[in-house]
Structure 1
Amino acid sequence: MKGRQEIGKRIKELRREHKFSQKFVAERLFISQAAYSLIESSQNGIVAEHIVNLSKLYDVTTDYLLKGDKFVIKMSISNGFVPYIGVSAHAGFIENYDGEAPLDNYDWYRIPGFNPTQNQKLFEVEGNSMAPTILSGDVVICQTQKKLENILDGSLVLIITKNSILVKRIRKNDDTTFLTLENDNVEDENEREKMEIKKQDIRELMMIRGKISGVLVPHHEIASKGKIKALEDALEMLKKEVYKLNKKIAAISH
């Protein structure tokens, strides 16, 4: 009986905090105001379905409603959590996509340094078309961008179409029908593989804000990259010196 009284007390306090009437809450539970009043006054017990609906209404955990436990973290967007869609869930995500995909079946994570909003999601990447920028198995942090004109040329994007989820680099153009995309996995930038998709086939376009990778670069590769960078800097300096020398020679010749 004491547990029933405590539950009644908590849901009454929550209703008053939110300035809801008993009639308003009862309608959300699909019961009469009289039936709801009996729950608040602890004369009647409360069923599991009502507990779940009240937790959604007040954005609290079911543990708080049942036991008063305030230290259980509710995994939701309002608490800084972002839904994670792994490779195995891509097909289901596309199939169920209807403008606001159901997220209850996905894992949720918090990412230090990111301020999540309702339009952020985590996607696991499949394939190496964007290597070495993004590798297969990396998780990209994405945020919905509704205006294509706000995306800078060369930005990394994730695009959800009717049939697939694409991670590409965007190339801006004046074409009103097609959008140009590129892969990164080529040595020569001029030979990057391009693809075009119809803008009308895009269901959602998301900017890639960051990534989480499980790949560690071996020490010898770091050393090699450092040497290459030093050589590139030396070559750039040599080009500048040659340019200055050519200018001097040209001046003497005239």
Structure 2
Amino acid sequence: MTDDDPLAVLYEAARVLRSERRELADEREAFSQFRTRVGALETTASTARFPTLLADRTRTAPGRTTPDQVREAYVRTVMCVPHYEEAYGESYRENLERELTPELATAITRSEGLSPGLKRSLADCVDRAIDARESLLEFLEAESEAITDAEERLAGIVGDLESVVAQPLDRAGFHVLISSRDRLDSLEDRCGVLLEERQARIRREHSVSVAGIDDTARYLYGSCRTTHPVLAAIAAVCAGIEEGRRTIDRRLAVVE
């Protein structure tokens, strides 16, 4: 179609989803690599009588892990994804706090060694970061399938709409006009079915939180022209159907 293609919002949504899935996959792999590096780090036994996560001040024995080693592993994995600067642009400490909690960030940066308890806490937080991205990737996979389905169904409706309005309606007789109007009504019904399905999906999304994200529409499509691309595409197609119906009605008023 033209620059006014009603499916343009779906093409944009598909591009955004591809980009987000690629970035999440990169982050998941980066955290997995960091998790492997953390697993290989040696620990320092705590000498504190009542050691806690934030009170670990054990002196590091020669050859044992230092905070700089943790930092290097994090910088070379998590902070090395291609989109890091554009998407986050955070310092090591800032990103550590956001991804792994402020408490753990404090413990890692202030402790002189890596106690078994701190190492376990670090591994647990990294696992949660990986799980969150796994959940988001699953959600994005389902959303990508929904966008593709909507695009295919609406493309079929648009094709049928174009075949109706491409007729010489200004010279069409009564029966042709009535048949064409019925076809438009049928196309509108197909849009209605898709609309109900999409709205039901939106309601389900609003009832749950995906990886701590409550507003998934804004998370995914906040940079797009609309945060509800399927609804916008349906509305645009329905507007085309209504325009075609008005054209037919104007002709019917003459031939009747």
Provide the TM-score with structure 1 as the length reference. Answer: 0.26
Structure with higher strand content:
1
Provide the TM-score with structure 2 as the length reference. Answer: 0.26
Q: Tell which has more relative contact order, 1 or 2 (C-alpha 8 A, sep 6+).
A: 2
Structure with higher helix content:
2
